[in-house]
Structure 1
Amino acid sequence: MSADDHELRSFGRRRGRKPSARQVSLLREDLPRFSFDPAKPPEGFRQNWLEIGFGGGEHLLWQARQNRDVALIGCEPFEDGVIKVLTAVTTENLENVRVHMGDVREILKSVAPGTIDRAFILFPDPWPKRKHRKRRLVNSSLLKLLARVMRPGAELRIGTDIGDYARTMLEAFATEPAFEWQAATPADWRDRPLDWPETRYEAKAVREGRRRYYFRFLRR
């Protein structure tokens, strides 16, 4: 990966606690079955939706259960989150879920143009220290990669509870003409849509009294 600032890793450690025997089995036997192959996108589904950094998988799994005719592609570098999703996928037989345990840019650079019909980036790591802000995921470099893989009319949803990050996100979109912000009134970015379930990170923001921002953009 390039040493350019835009290519800096936007996530920290990959593993929390030592996995149990059952979790090791999930990673060894089930992850290959449900891994996303950029060269062979899922077949037989109406659309392909991509979630970048699905964390504990609450949103990804909700969308997969509610939209069985849509392929849900989840990218998450943190092993614990992948294990949680694989546990639900195998227990509930969610055949419409595919997982990439790694950096989403590996996917965005390799899938065919126009592959993605909807994308989600929900409450990404804010990297609050000033010296680390160059590691923030949402920047003009990422938007260019997303613009390549999203079909015209595809929707991009982004959520954050950090005001400074919300500002820099909008600044990045202002320089990327491929996306159009879908906001006519303040309610369009203050109120979470009904088909946008709460994640654990959003719930933490609610408990701590932080304002949440819900942005929706369309690929032109």
Structure 2
Amino acid sequence: MTQSKSPTGAPWRNFYGRRHGKTLRSSQKGYLDEDLDKLSPGPVDWEVNPDRAPLDLAARFGAREIWLEIGFGGGEHMVHQAVQHPDAAIIGCEPFINGVAMLLGKIRAAGAKNVAVHPGDARDLFDVLPAASISRAFLLYPDPWPKKKHHRRRFVTPEHLEPLARVLKPGAEFRVATDIPDYVRQTLEQVPAHGFTWTAEGPTDWRAPWDDWLSTRYEQKALREGRVPHYLTFVRD
């Protein structure tokens, strides 16, 4: 059956969640106006790349290895990784424009030069990332969609994991952090079924954060509310 298309030629994809929140401050509007376009990873949107030509990552980032953060929230972890690992370049995806504005402010404050931002759906970016081009990916405290009938909206489903597996290099690391036990269950069921190996050898491997971890505001909220973080590491087969 032919997939339905929007007027731009893009496939119709259900999007769940918010794109806008509270009114942006004038400084945040300035970040979006002045910084967002120049931090693009390349032509992702269907209007400017209807043929879905692969991004030229070497032209954009040089010889750096490329990392990907899916849903960067307020951007604190992404900027931390960029500063700690200047030899890598990090692309962040986030459709929530308030989070994008927060990230741009943090990028300015840190002076990070090895970052790119896609203010939209990760699936659109997956369409134009070359195969086996990403060396590490992060999925940190994704929306849990706690109701059972909404579990199909979670990231750890075939609709997202199949293209993620395509763009990750063999041996690439995929990090998942969540405080929701049922999200852990679904992650451990679905991710290995789509070309990944869970690396844990004992409880410490999912109870202790990564050595270069920066606790996010979402994690701090979870800890205040008595929920236990889980840190899951997978490797692309």
TM-score under structure 2 length normalisation? 0.85
Is 1:64 matched with 2:82?
Answer: yes
Q: 1:26 aligned to 24, 31, 34, which one?
A: 31
Query: Displacement, 1:35?
Result: 1.4
SS where residue 175 of structure 1 aligns? Answer: helix
Does 84-93 or 44-53 show the bigger shift? 84-93
Does 163-172 or 30-39 show the bigger shift? 30-39
Aligned-partner residue type, residue 62 of structure 1:
H
- Aligned partners of 1:194 and 1:185: how far apart in 2? 17
Correspondence 1:149-168 to 2 at 5 A: 149-168=167-186
The answer for the alignment partner of 1:189 in structure 2 is: 206
Identity %: 47
Structure 1 residues 119-151: Cα deviation after superposition (integer angstroms, max 9, x where no partner): 000010001122322211111231111111011
The answer for the alignment partner of 2:40 in structure 1 is: 35
Aligned-partner residue type, residue 135 of structure 2:
D
The answer for the alignment partner of 2:10 in structure 1 is: none
The answer for the alignment partner of 1:88 in structure 2 is: 106
Query: Displacement, 1:88?
Result: 1.9
Correspondence 1:1-220 to 2 at 5 A: 8-9=14-15, 11-37=16-42, 39-41=55-57, 42-176=60-194, 178-220=195-237
Query: Displacement, 1:159?
Result: 0.8
Query: Displacement, 1:8?
Result: 3.4
SS where residue 64 of structure 1 aligns? Answer: helix
- Aligned partners of 1:133 and 1:24: how far apart in 2? 34
**8 Å CA contact 2:31, 2:101 repeated in 1:** yes
- Aligned partners of 1:205 and 1:92: how far apart in 2? 26
Aligned-partner residue type, residue 85 of structure 2:
N
- Aligned partners of 1:211 and 1:88: how far apart in 2? 27
- Aligned partners of 2:112 and 2:72: how far apart in 1? 16
TM-score under structure 1 length normalisation? 0.91
Report which structure shows greater RCO (CA 8 Å, sep ≥6): 1
Query: Displacement, 1:45?
Result: 4.4
**8 Å CA contact 1:8, 1:135 repeated in 2:** no
- Aligned partners of 1:174 and 1:117: how far apart in 2? 18
Q: How many residues align structurally?
A: 214
Structure 1 residues 176-208: Cα deviation after superposition (integer angstroms, max 9, x where no partner): 2x2111011111111112212211111111111
Over the aligned positions, Cα root-mean-square deviation in angstroms equals 1.6
- Aligned partners of 2:201 and 2:216: how far apart in 1? 25
SS where residue 79 of structure 2 aligns? Answer: helix
